[in-house]
Amino acid sequence: MNVERQLRDGAERAVPEALDHRVRTALRTMPLPASTFSSPALALGLALGATLALTTGLAMAVAAAGAAESGVAIATTWVVGYLGVSTVVSLPLLVRLGAPRRNREVQA
């Protein structure tokens, strides 16, 4: 609450408390569209973009370190290895988290 008051006091124009309350209430009770945040296409696009950015950044770093011609191959190998290790580590955890959810749906 203290931060909110500091923001309100630091604003160029005075914000009426009634308007502030109405906006907060509207934001708090506004339903978020579930399809926007849980879209598989959005998740896949973000994952591919992050992988491409990681590969490009690593290739540039390796090339700057002196491996100009083989920088992309080295970076791709590192990224694929990283993704493989993270998949092996996180997949059992994800399966374990999803198992109770599937059992609940079967019982219901």
Say if residue 41 is in the same domain as residue 8. Answer: no
Instruction: Give residue 6's pLDDT.
Output: 78
- In this prediction the pTM is 0.44
Instruction: Give residue 107's pLDDT.
Output: 53
Say if residue 19 is in the same domain as residue 53. Answer: no
pLDDT digits (tens, 9 = 90+) for 60-103: 888 888 777 777 788 888 888 888 888 888 888 777 776 665 55
Say if residue 22 is in the same domain as residue 48. Answer: no
Instruction: Give residue 106's pLDDT.
Output: 55
Say if residue 54 is in the same domain as residue 75. Answer: yes
pLDDT digits (tens, 9 = 90+) for 11-32: 787 778 888 788 888 888 877 6
Which residues, in sequence order, are CB contacts of 83 under 8 Å at separation 6+?
A: 51
Say if residue 76 is in the same domain as residue 48. Answer: yes
Residue 14 to residue 60: CA distance in whole angstroms: 50
Say if residue 70 is in the same domain as residue 91. Answer: yes
Say if residue 70 is in the same domain as residue 90. Answer: yes
Say if residue 13 is in the same domain as residue 54. Answer: no
CA 23, 27, 33, 39 dihedral sign is positive
